[in-house]
Amino acid sequence: MSSTPLDSVAVVSVSYNSGRHLQKFLTSIRASEAHGLTVVIADNGSSDIESTRAVCIEHAATLLELDDNYGYGGAINRAIATLPATITTVLISNPDVIFTSGSITALAGAMDDLPAAGAVGPRVLNSDGTVYPSARQLPSLRTGTGHALFSKIWGSNPWTARYLSDLSESSVNREAGWLSGSCLLVRRTAYDAIGGFDDAFFMYFEDVDLGYRLGKAGWKSFYIPHAVVTHSGAHSTGTESSRMLQAHHKSAYLYLSRKYSAWYLAPLRWSLKAGLGFRSWWLTRATR
């Protein structure tokens, strides 16, 4: 693996009432690498903006204060648009990720070594040390429909098994259909060429869609297991479970309906929309 200087790498993250978690995030970035990095935090109209300002000043991170909540992908797009042309690779990360020593350098080196890569992603650990499924195959219409309709009533169904299958147990670099948006490094030319994240995905599936569109444009996504980070969980969504359930189902339908847009697949799309709508309604009621 090549040794890569980090002056052409930027870290971009999104905060939505996540100011109390940025201290560990920014500390881990500075501690994990020998050289300084450009860091931009896009804030989606948070109510805790004062604490976010303070921690960004402490860690010399740029704070982009947005006038509204643009969702995850929308905020990332706006942050990347502020970066100078000298930044050629961008590490996109949730604010509750902790980087291990050398993890960013390892990702940047892998990007240099893999000229076909539009994105590379690390091994993502949960806070208990288990491996999070951060590298998966792209979901198909059949798999997505089967998972949506049967996962809660028939947990061992084959569609859910395929939907949740991942490549993250691998110990060697390998290609994946998509990489978790919780932490991935993108080649800026590839990202810009496809228009970055699709703003239509307010939250969830923006990373699946990104992997799909990178592949359509001729780029590949690679899982890099020797680069390791820890993801402690979705702090900004924990108190909005009903809203997030609805957003997840809406985004799932949006992704699959766009991927399978042929006229003759309309009956399947109708069935998928009805099934996801019912599943969203049922799960939302269960959380109340």
Q: Contact 43/52 with Cβ under 8 angstroms?
A: yes
- Residue found by looking up tokens 């982009």 in the block: 64
Domain that holds residue 116: 1-132+168-235
Report if residue 70 sits inside a domain. yes
Report if residue 273 sits inside a domain. no
Question: Considering the chain, what percentage of its residues have pLDDT values greater than 70?
Answer: 76
The tens digit of pLDDT for each residue in 80-117 reads 999 999 999 999 999 999 999 999 999 999 999 999 99
Q: Tell me how crowded residue 248 is: count the other CB atoms within 10 A of its CB.
A: 18
Question: How many Å separate Cα 55 from the centre of its chain?
Answer: 23
Confidence (pLDDT) at 145: 63
Report if residue 112 sits inside a domain. yes
The tens digit of pLDDT for each residue in 245-283 reads 666 667 677 777 777 777 777 776 666 666 666 565 565
Which region among 13-17, 62-66, 89-93, 164-168 has the lowest average model confidence (pLDDT)? 164-168
Confidence (pLDDT) at 7: 87
Mean per-residue pLDDT for 64-85? 96
Rounded Cα distance between 104 and 108, Å, is: 6
Mean per-residue pLDDT for 14-28? 92
- Residue 167's pLDDT band, with cuts at 50, 70 and 90, is low
Report if residue 247 sits inside a domain. no
Which domain CATH number covers 19?
3.90.550.60
- Residue 236's pLDDT band, with cuts at 50, 70 and 90, is very low
Report if residue 4 sits inside a domain. yes
Q: Tell me how crowded residue 189 is: count the other CB atoms within 10 A of its CB.
A: 11
The pLDDT of residue 53 is above 90: yes
Report if residue 95 sits inside a domain. yes
The tens digit of pLDDT for each residue in 34-44 reads 567 899 999 99
Number of domains, the chain: 1
| CA proximity to 37, closest of 45, 27, 47 | 27
Mean of the per-residue pLDDT values of the chain? 84
Rounded Cα distance between 80 and 287, Å, is: 36
The continuous run of DSSP H or E covering 12 comes out as: strand 9-15
- Residue found by looking up tokens 């951060």 in the block: 134
Mean per-residue pLDDT for 182-208? 93
Report if residue 249 sits inside a domain. no
| CA proximity to 65, closest of 47, 83, 87 | 47
Mean per-residue pLDDT for 66-91? 96
Report if residue 217 sits inside a domain. yes
